[in-house]
Structure 1
Amino acid sequence: MPYYFYQFTHAITRRPPTTICDGLRAVDQGNPDFARISAHHGEYIAALQNAGMTVVELPPLEQFPDCCFVEDTALCLPQGAIVLRPGAVTRRGEASAMAPHLAPFFDDIAVISGPGFVEGGDILVTEREILVGRSARTDAAGIAELTQIAKAWGHHVREVITPPGVLHFKTDCSLLDHQTILATPLLNASGCFADYTVIETADGEEACANAIRVNDTVIMPAGFPKTADILAARGYHVVTVNNSECAKIDGGMSCLSLRFTPTL
């Protein structure tokens, strides 16, 4: 039976800290409401569980305002996990704090040691390759080190360029199945998905491009009905989760969890 990079048994999440208003953001859209973002995080966990996942919820790290965005700290592959090195210096402690929580699930854990940096939000894993978008948070040296680790595990890494003004590569795209990508028209126009089937977000709904396929479910942010209808019409089971508060600090569906099947 083939392994698909949207089939998982486990997820790791981390509750938002009370300091989340001090988190990084590309554009000031106002501060998130802590009670609301906590409630939305609970909805997100429930959606993962309903999709068949066992969810490990870690406590918040108050000294790291962005700590709930755990995807940037590690890359989980069928062969093992790679502890990443975030491009934002203030976030690097999040990666080292995640490492002990990966140990119970993976018998092989590698570490991006630097001097380069790479964040999980710039990494899209498909059946045939690992696409890594160079951005302000992921540089060529970080991609090169990731490439060597992934190559030893049998993976091919392809570097692509994240469009100017886009924080992370996956801000503008997500994997829907083994050959289909959801992408903004901007990112699709770059040609990086020439060998894939691409479904573009509806006009004015580009902010929902960061969705996640989890087993038989596509989890996407609420408030983007036209794109949700497009996906449903293509046969996908769509579940929406409120994300208005996370979006204020550049958070989306993928960055809120590490999704994997343990090797141990």
Structure 2
Amino acid sequence: MSGIALVRKPGPRISEGIVTHLQREPVDAGRAAAQHDAYVAALAAAGWRPVYVPSADDLPDAPFVEDTLVVSGRLAVLTRPGAVERRPEVDSVAQAVRDLGMKAVRIARPGTLDGGDVLQSGPTVYVGRSARTNAQGITQLAALLPERTVVPVELSGVLHLKSAVTALPDGTLIGDPRHVDLPGLLVPEEEAGAHVVPLGGDRVLLAASAPRTAAALEKRGLAVTTVDISEYEKLEGCVTCLSVLVAD
């Protein structure tokens, strides 16, 4: 599998990004920029062509582009983020997907939806009911994806669904049962091990902060690439947050 990786460079105000469940730590903007470059390079090495959404230096959370968009085939669902200050991020993403020739639709008020709450695995779309995603947003997403099975998921003590659980290439869910109750959950050894980006085939991307989980996934036969995203982890970010993959 290959395609396009939508990404957005971090701006100088990234240290001002929203923190909800963690104690705020200083974020080094220069190091964050270098880590983002390495992250994008890892996607490119796996066959994903980077497409940069226009910079938004006045919006600290803008590099977490996943929250603005849900892609199903050639349909781009533009979200309505639950944090009001993040809603201006969406318009530039909307233009980017239109430039790619995709059909764009929007979540409308009073619905709220963050892309980080949406986990797609085969025909199933799990959607976390969180502080950022409400019932109306989930209902609207289900109506926009009639060919998919949308499953609401309750969360506990975590920002987004994909902060707690993601899916391996074979559909196995990997995550932290302290935050989400889903059957058949593979439990990683590190919290960051719950954050997996399938890159196509047996390839996956994982944060460098989960070395034991990376080793365990390699024992399962997966080809694991790791990247250091420690500056983003201080802002509750993970490897899924920093891109939206659009398959050819």
Does TM-score exceed 0.5, indicating one fold?
yes
Instruction: Report deviation, 1:209.
Output: 1.1
1:251 has 2:245 as partner: no
Aligned to 1:200: 187
Which of 144, 162, 173 is the matching residue for 1:181?
A: 173
When the two chains are superposed, the root-mean-square deviation of aligned CA atoms in Å is: 1.4
Higher relative contact order (CA 8 A, sep 6+): 1
Identity %: 34
Alignment of 1:37-52 (within 5 A): 37-52=32-47
Distance in 2 (alpha carbons) for counterparts of 1:221 and 1:229: 12
Instruction: Report deviation, 1:110.
Output: 0.9
1:134 has 2:126 as partner: no
Instruction: Give the length in aligned residue pairs.
Output: 246
Distance in 2 (alpha carbons) for counterparts of 1:253 and 1:160: 21
Aligned to 2:77: 82
Gaps of 5+ in 2: none
Which of 135, 138, 148 is the matching residue for 1:155?
A: 148
Conservation of the 8 A alpha-carbon contact between 2:158 and 2:179: no
Aligned to 1:11: 5
Give the 3 Å change call, closer, same or farther, for CA 59–110 of structure 1 in structure 2: closer
Conservation of the 8 A alpha-carbon contact between 1:80 and 1:106: no
Gaps of 5+ in 1: 1-6
Instruction: Report deviation, 1:184.
Output: 1.6
Distance in 1 (alpha carbons) for counterparts of 2:113 and 2:209: 30
Aligned to 1:239: 225
Conservation of the 8 A alpha-carbon contact between 1:185 and 1:201: no
Deviation per CA, 1:73-119: give whole Å up to 9, x if none.
01011141110000000000111221000012244211111211000
Deviation per CA, 1:158-208: give whole Å up to 9, x if none.
111112x100000011121142122123246x1x2x2xx532111xx1133
Q: Secondary structure at the match of 2:185?
A: strand
1:56 has 2:51 as partner: yes
Matched residue type, 2:204: V
